[in-house]
Structure 1
Amino acid sequence: FGAQVHRRSPEVSQDSSTSLEAIKEFLHHHHEVDIVGNIQATSPCLHPSDLIKVADLIQREGFDSVFSVVRRHQFRWSEVKKGENKMTEPQNLNPAKRYRRQDWPGELYENGSFYFAKRHLIEKGYLQGGKMAYYEMRAEHSVDIDIDIDWPIAEQRVLSFGYFGKEPLKEVKLLVCSIDGCLTNGRIYVTEDQKEMVSYDYRDIVGIDLLKKKGIQVRLISERDCSKTLSAMQLGCIAKVSATNKLQVLEDWQKDMGLSWKEVAYLGNEESDVECLKKAGMSGVPADACALAQKAAGYICKSNGGCGAVREFAEHIFLLLEKVNSARKQKEEISSAGKEMGGK
């Protein structure tokens, strides 16, 4: 993305170090910078459109510092410590004339998403000061990861309200899965009469069925001739066995279906899968895949091959579908808002 990285020195990388100390060190090494935007990674629903508006407040309207806030409708009461013989007192309401929440405009609270300030303020030791302004963020975009229980909330917010990048997300329409080591655990059992047997996890079969119901084609590939195994599984998937060049097979399928690489997912586990993993728009490996395959993959399952990895990777694909739908809704909302503004 063209971003440059400033590496903090050990002096401002202590457990007790503050963001302000790190910013002051950065400015010491970058005399060309006049405005600093301190964006907190713990606020994952911040959008570029917000930052553009904040930059305008400083550059065009002459504010020295701008910080993010969110509107909350919470009634506050004074704290009474254990053992104190005191009564609690209302802080922002009159109990005799208690508002309904919908009738009360609420109050503004810092949400810690970002702090923008000019150089001269920071050099004095402030991130807020001079001619100040707040920027009110939408409540659904205002999430702060502070403790463990904030994670699941943040994950759901990102799915619905996160920023998904400039490039439009593509729905996966094809999953190609390596049979040996992904759909099965890679083990081959030989009976007394020299027949080969393999085992598989029923959860993976369910995962394949769920993908099909979502309109995603599932195709299988193997370097071995495992036709009898596939026939026994009755998966109803197109398969290529005895494949000496998996990448060629993948490219042929991609072209035949008229798909972009972003619409192709691949689940592999061996060195022979590495080039396919690099090519596919979404790639994954089981937890016990070889090191080269793990390095090439975008997602490493928690499950081993033949033990639920296919089902887990299917859930990962469904997560992308949720993001695609959310991104589409965001685009529609922005388009609708633009039309309303144009009509005024």
Structure 2
Amino acid sequence: MASRKRCLPGDNGEQDGPLPACKQVKSGEKRHVAALILARGGSKGIPLKNIKKLAGVPLIGWVLRAAVDSDMFDSVWVSTDHVDIEKVAKNWGAKVHRRSPEVSKDSSTSLETIQEFARLNPEVDVICNIQATSPCLHPFHLKEALEMITLQNFDSVFSVVRRHQFRWQEVEKRPGEFTKPLNLDPKKRPRRQDWAGELCENGSFYFTKRDLIMNKGVLQGDNGAYYEMLPEYSVDIDVDIDWPVAEQRVLRYGYFGRDTPELVRLMFCNVSGCLTEGRIFLSVSGEEMVSINTRDTMGIRMLQREEVEVVLLTSSSDPVAQSLADILGKRTGCQVIEVGEEPLDDLKPLVEQRKLQWKDVAFMGNDKPDVSCLNLAGLSAVPGDAPVVAINAAKYTCHSVGGKGAMREFAEHILLQKEKAKSQMKQDRIDSSSF
């Protein structure tokens, strides 16, 4: 089960699913529903945290991708005071609200910023404030939560996660000061499996009707509800120490887009700039040479062992890389294809011959000619030193640069997505057998 939707106490909400007391109401009037991500440039914990790369994607890109792909919003916005955040937001399909200095201070609250946005956008009836630091958010979370407002007539819905933590009262460290339990009886400590735990806000999102925001000055009303997210999707990033943990979590549980393949069967990889580092070595005799990293060749073999066909791409404009590809192709058994100025024109027939769709294809490129393939492939990546035009088109940006392990990194990413798909299919079978 992906989530639980419940009413707040007082609404008779003590069971899963649609509730008798949560009367479902379909309104004939058209509501304008807007997603709003607050992304101030002055983060103290991690400078420009909102656009720092997490698993190859700007942090804010994870939630923008989920919001856009949910198809539930009439508009998707980023509220920011920083030009670099504005550029990233637009690249990921969002409109930008340039917030005023009055709501860009360290002391400014989220509510004040949301109220400013609402004043300047009077057509918006429902605002979903999505936290930029929640990279494991999926479109289905937003869809199910919004339906609680549009179909069940709640005035607000916010996300929670279930925690199993015993809490104790904080006291001054002085003689005679003793702590007390807040949510347990020490004489009857429950086992985890016998205790339902407690619901805690995880901050992923807050859906709120305009009236609550503007007239009552709150994000959660009396006629509100919570939406429970499973712990694996509940990730927050505040300080540097959170980053590596969040990166591993998002690689396993993050949302990578509509066309993320269940199983990649074919991978195209540019030799120049991906398997090489862009440098040409000259011998004393004037012979040109390039190098290749053994980690990258191991990445190719890892994919081949998992029955992923790897095709190496070269260009007539780079004869040195072409010679390397021929040697590498013989050693690894990879087919080598020469592509022209628009690689997509040469690769489409290969995909069709194998009776595959582009969502079943992975592509690794490194420059402007590769943009069409990077956009079209189910999984796509560029090395960490690729130009911005290629980075913006790719679904994953490697930490490693070209010729220094980028191919190996992308291969591991592909295989992790394959593992995720297998686990999900297994879980789906378990869920279906329980009915």
Q: So what's the TM-score if we normalise by structure 1?
A: 0.79
User: What's the counterpart of residue 22 of structure 2?
Assistant: none
- Superposed CA deviations along residues 102-141 of structure 1, whole A, max 9, x for unmatched, are 2233333222233333333322212233334434333343
Contact between 2:261 and 2:379, CA under 8 Å: does it hold in 1?
no
* AA matched with 1:137: M
Is 1:3 the counterpart of 2:75? The answer is yes
* AA matched with 2:203: G
Contact between 1:211 and 1:218, CA under 8 Å: does it hold in 2?
yes
User: What's the counterpart of residue 201 of structure 1?
Assistant: 293
CA distance change for structure 1 residues 335 and 21 in 2, over 3 Å: closer, same or farther? Answer: farther
Contact between 1:159 and 1:326, CA under 8 Å: does it hold in 2?
no
Contact between 1:261 and 1:281, CA under 8 Å: does it hold in 2?
yes
User: What's the counterpart of residue 15 of structure 1?
Assistant: 106
CA distance change for structure 1 residues 265 and 114 in 2, over 3 Å: closer, same or farther? Answer: closer
Contact between 2:161 and 2:231, CA under 8 Å: does it hold in 1?
yes
Q: How many residues align?
A: 337
Is 1:267 the counterpart of 2:358? The answer is no
Equivalent in 295, 301, 311 of residue 398 of structure 2 = 301
User: What's the counterpart of residue 115 of structure 2?
Assistant: 24
Deviation at 1:209?
A: 0.7
- Residue identity over aligned pairs, in percent, reads 51
User: What's the counterpart of residue 310 of structure 1?
Assistant: 407
User: What's the counterpart of residue 274 of structure 2?
Assistant: 182
The within-5 A match list for 1:62-101 is 62-83=153-174, 85-101=176-192
CA distance change for structure 1 residues 191 and 79 in 2, over 3 Å: closer, same or farther? Answer: closer
Is 1:230 the counterpart of 2:329? The answer is no
CA distance change for structure 1 residues 178 and 27 in 2, over 3 Å: closer, same or farther? Answer: closer
1:136, 1:262 → 2: CA distance?
31
Deviation at 1:171?
A: 2.9
Is 1:250 the counterpart of 2:250? The answer is no
1:193, 1:292 → 2: CA distance?
37
1:68, 1:269 → 2: CA distance?
39
Equivalent in 265, 280, 285 of residue 173 of structure 1 = 265
User: What's the counterpart of residue 4 of structure 2?
Assistant: none
1:148, 1:218 → 2: CA distance?
36
**1:90 alignment partner, SS class:** coil
Contact between 2:271 and 2:325, CA under 8 Å: does it hold in 1?
no
Contact between 1:164 and 1:327, CA under 8 Å: does it hold in 2?
no
Is 1:117 the counterpart of 2:117? The answer is no
Contact between 1:121 and 1:130, CA under 8 Å: does it hold in 2?
no
- Between stretches 85-94 and 132-141, larger displacement belongs to 132-141
* AA matched with 2:97: R
User: What's the counterpart of residue 215 of structure 1?
Assistant: 307
1:18, 1:170 → 2: CA distance?
41
Unaligned 5+ runs, structure 2: 1-67, 69-73, 78-95
CA distance change for structure 1 residues 314 and 89 in 2, over 3 Å: closer, same or farther? Answer: same
- Between stretches 224-233 and 31-40, larger displacement belongs to 224-233
Deviation at 1:7?
A: 0.7
Deviation at 1:157?
A: 4.1
Equivalent in 113, 132, 147 of residue 239 of structure 2 = 147
* AA matched with 1:3: S
CA distance change for structure 1 residues 155 and 236 in 2, over 3 Å: closer, same or farther? Answer: same
Equivalent in 369, 383, 395 of residue 286 of structure 1 = 383
- Between stretches 107-116 and 224-233, larger displacement belongs to 224-233
Deviation at 1:48?
A: 4.6
1:294, 1:67 → 2: CA distance?
33
- Superposed CA deviations along residues 179-229 of structure 1, whole A, max 9, x for unmatched, are 333323344445566655432211111111111112111122322274477
Contact between 1:271 and 1:293, CA under 8 Å: does it hold in 2?
yes
1:180, 1:164 → 2: CA distance?
26
CA distance change for structure 1 residues 336 and 158 in 2, over 3 Å: closer, same or farther? Answer: farther
**2:218 alignment partner, SS class:** coil
**2:355 alignment partner, SS class:** coil
- Between stretches 58-67 and 22-31, larger displacement belongs to 58-67
2:389, 2:225 → 1: CA distance?
51
Cα root mean square deviation, aligned: 3.5
Unaligned 5+ runs, structure 1: none
- Superposed CA deviations along residues 141-200 of structure 1, whole A, max 9, x for unmatched, are 333333333344444444554456555635322222233333233444455666554322
**1:320 alignment partner, SS class:** helix
CA distance change for structure 1 residues 273 and 101 in 2, over 3 Å: closer, same or farther? Answer: closer
